[in-house]
Amino acid sequence: MLRGFYTAASGMLTQQRRTELLTNNMSNANTTGYKADQTSVRSFPEMLISNMDGKTIPTENKLSMPTLSKVGGLSTGVYVQEANPLFTQGTLEETQLNTDIALADENLPINEETGRQGSVFFTVQDGDGNLRYTRNGSFTLDGKGYLTTPAGHYVLNNSNERIKLDSDRFTITENGVLLEGNVQTARLGIGYSDNPSSQLMKDGEGLYKVLNDGELPSAYAALEVGFSTKQGFLEGSNVDQSRTMTEMMSAYRSFESSQKVLQAYDKSLDKAVNEVGKL
């Protein structure tokens, strides 16, 4: 009976974790460049249940020989194995601001192992000097003329150097080149990952970092990778609000079901202790 408590409780904890993740997705439905998290729910290894019995041997002393018969498998509960961002592109929204830049996915190869497309990212530098990647192109110029993210991280060029501009009256070509007048100032640093779900992890403030603090290869040099940079546009969140609300309701109902099972076990255990135990 106690095993049933653990199984029901694991179901409640799993649905609680799913609800928290879906709520976070919903709260970021209007966040620029946000990528919705998806959960992967797995079950714990099943246990094989067997019935132990005895069989009397027709001998003079009537010996008894134990027998073992299989009853079947028993699930021991579920858990959230991992939460991975979905790197599909969000809707591009026009802002007409020179410092707003969006990455438009055009021809990104599909990874044979995952069946999903790769993704391209702006390369930035965080406050500790580490390389980070983002899809949020809501940039601005700081007091010294450096191109930065909303959180103050420096936007880097294709040589991983900070981009400094004279003013916000610049133009960006579709292949990432920044022009001030007719003079090329820099080229945006764009990294490419063929398997972002496994190579990248969220690092807060819309940033991603490569596992083991590695570096993504340049998207310009990657074969068969097609993308463009669009000035005056921003990429919206890829959260599907209708689907997220439906999944939240489903998680809530599953939580309630596990809760009722837990309450039934509690009542059964109460009777076993306080009523059956008196006999």
pLDDT averaged per 10 residues, the chain (length 279): 77 91 94 91 71 67 68 72 88 94 92 88 93 96 93 94 93 94 93 92 92 90 91 95 94 92 85 70
Q: Which residue matches tokens 């041997």?
A: 57
- In the chain, the N- to C-terminal Cα span, in Å, equals 20
Helix (H, G, I), strand (E, B) or coil at 165: coil
192 and 100, same domain (yes or no): yes
Instruction: Give the per-residue pLDDT at 60.
Output: 64
For the chain, where are the alpha helices, taking DSSP H only? 2-27, 196-199, 241-274
Q: Is the dihedral of CA 116, 149, 124, 208 positive or negative?
A: negative
User: 208 and 252 in one domain?
Assistant: no
User: Do residues 224 and 253 both lie within one domain?
Assistant: no
Same domain, 102 and 51: no
DSSP bridge pairs for 276: none
Tell me, yes or no, whether 106 and 174 share the same domain. yes
Question: In sequence order, what are the residues at sequence separation of 6 or more whose Cβ sits closer than 8 angstroms to the Cβ of residue 255?
Answer: 11, 12, 15, 16, 19
Residue 241 structure tokens: 């609000």
Same domain, 117 and 227: yes
- Both 40 and 151 in one domain: the answer is no
Q: Specify which residues 186 forms β-bridges with.
A: 178
Q: Looking at the structure, do residues 58 and 30 belong to the same domain, yes or no?
A: yes
Q: Are residues 33 and 70 in the same domain?
A: yes
- What's the gap between Cα 81 and its chain centre? 11
DSSP state of 1: -
The pLDDT value given to residue 1: 55
CA distance 105 to 230: 11
Give the whole-angstrom CA distance, residue 182 versus residue 170: 10
Q: What is the pTM of this model?
A: 0.81
Residues in contact with 45: Cβ distance below 8 Å, sequence separation at least 6, in sequence order: 76
99 and 137, same domain (yes or no):
yes
Q: Based on the domain organization, do 145 and 271 belong to the same domain?
A: no
Q: How does DSSP classify residue 279?
A: -
Tell me how many domains the chain contains.
2
Contact 105, 117 (CB under 8 A): yes
My answer on whether 92 and 228 are in the same domain is yes
How far, in Å, CA of 34 to CA of 87, rounded?
A: 9
Residue range of the domain that includes 110: 87-235
Listed residue (184, 210, 240, 213) closest to 121, CA to CA? 210
